[in-house]
Structure formats: structure tokens, C-alpha cells
Amino acid sequence: MNDTILRKKKLRVTPFRKEVLKVFLKNDHAISMQDIENELGDFDRITLYRTIKSFINKGVIHEIVMPGDIRKMALCDQVCDHDSGLHDHNHIHFQCKKCEEVFCVEIDKIPEIKIPGFQIEEQEIQAKGICEKCSGS
């Protein structure tokens, strides 16, 4: 139930937030602002912006940015239930060159990068290629 998700993240359960969350839940890939707007029937754009912002801050969803002005969002794992606005993810972001969708893909272990002189605290990997579904066809 999406009520549970919201409550867990200390967000008030409102009809609008449930609607927005539903859009995320029914997609297995990352979605854009446009996608959400298209899926919501009637809505107030300002409220949507604010909803998205609080979802990100509370760790309900996370932002994915990729070259080419691609800005999408996807649900967070259970892991990130913190109020800090920081997100920990054990996955990489993958964009399919065929269907153009962006997915969060779990991987066993994120390789550690080391750079002399730099202290790396977080890292994120973005990849492009052909996704599972498009490989088959």
C-alpha cells in the first residue's frame, strides 16, 4: 500500500501524493516530469513540483540525470529511509539506446574508484547500451 510508504517517510498521506506515488509504482523504469504530467489526469503543476521535491527530500524517490538533458526520477530502495536528503543506492542507472528508457539496475558490487589526492565519499555509475527486453527482440 502506498499509504505505508508515505507514512514510513513521514509524509502526510494526501490524495494527490497517493496519485503521484501510484504513477511511480506502476512503472518499472525511471520517469520524467512529463511522464507524470501525462499520467495524471487533472492536477496543479505547482503542487506537483512541491510534491516531487518533498519526495526527493524524504527519500521516496531519487533523481536521475543523464547527458542530453535527461532528467528522470525513480522510487528509492527501502534502504534510504533517512531525512537527510542523501541517498544510498546499490544500483547503477542504465539507459537503453533502443527504447530510451532509464532503469535502476541492481549490481553485486559497485567497483571502488581511487584517485590520488581526492577523497571519494559517494559515487554513481551511469551506463548506456541495450536493455534486457530490447536485446531479445
Report if residue 17 touches DNA, rule: CB under 7 A: yes
Residue 61 pairs in a beta bridge with: 75
Report if residue 54 touches DNA, rule: CB under 7 A: yes
DSSP state of 62: E
Tell me the one-letter amino acid at 18. Answer: K
- Which residues of this protein are in contact with a second copy, per CB under 8 A? 62-71, 92, 94, 97, 105, 107, 111, 113, 115, 117-132, 135
Known binding residue 131? Answer is yes
- HSE-up of residue 81 (Cα within 13 Å, Cβ side): 10
By the 10 Å C-beta count (0-12 exposed, 13-18 middle, 19+ buried), 111 is classed as exposed
CA distances 51 to 55, 57, 73, Å, are: 6, 10, 13
Residue 2, binding choice from a second copy, DNA, none, Cβ under 5 to 8 Å by partner class: none
Residues 100 and 18: their CA atoms lie apart, in Å, by 27
Report if residue 14 touches DNA, rule: CB under 7 A: yes
Using CB under 7 A, pick the residue from 22, 25, 38, 49 that binds DNA.
Answer: 49
Residues making up the binding site for Zn(2+):
96, 99, 131, 134
Using CB under 7 A, list all residues that contact DNA: 6-7, 11-17, 33-34, 43-47, 49-51, 53-54, 71
Residues making up the binding site:
96, 99, 131, 134
